[in-house]
Amino acid sequence: MKASFLLAVVLSLGTSAHPQSEHIKSNSEIEKGLPLVYQKWLTEDVSWIIKPDDRVSFLRLSSDAERDDFARQFWLRRDPTPGTEENEFKEEHYRRLAYANQHFAHTISGWKTDRGRIYIVYEPPDRIDSKVGHCRVCAFSRNLALPVHAGRARADFRVHRYL
């Protein structure tokens, strides 16, 4: 009797402590469940510039209207001249994405390469110091040096120097 009562208590505790019906979705599962336009915006368009906490906030939104408002606010917060029709930051960002895709694509899209990421996040280089085959040394007006491998192909290795 005592053993069956104890077994019943243990079983009931086990099911309440770990409900089998509840499943907590990971961020990647939530991303995959988004409509394609929002997946693209999050994983391609703003991939290099969105902060981790903003990404989590975006993934917690439950409607497309909330997502549209989030994207609008995202760009407004970055607009260097609020109150004007143009958002120069947004326009420049999409120009850099297009440039990276056109000039840095190899076996993957240009925005996915390290060169593309550097170009999108920081700015075009002030000058290219040298070009030898697939290697380049680019000088920027920033004060750091980074060796960068642009993708998985060994032939696409680049070195970018931030001065």
Closest by CA to 30, choosing from 72, 71, 58, is: 58
Joined together, the tokens standing for residue 110 give: 């240009």
Q: What angle do CA 52, 56, 62 make, to 5 degrees?
A: 155
pLDDT in tens, 22-42: 445 677 777 778 999 999 999
Partner residues linked to 136 by β-bridges = 131
List of the chain residues with pLDDT < 50: 2-23, 143-163
Closest by CA to 111, choosing from 31, 59, 49, is: 49
- pTM metric for this prediction: 0.66
- Is residue 81 a contact partner of residue 89, using CB atoms and an 8 Å limit? no
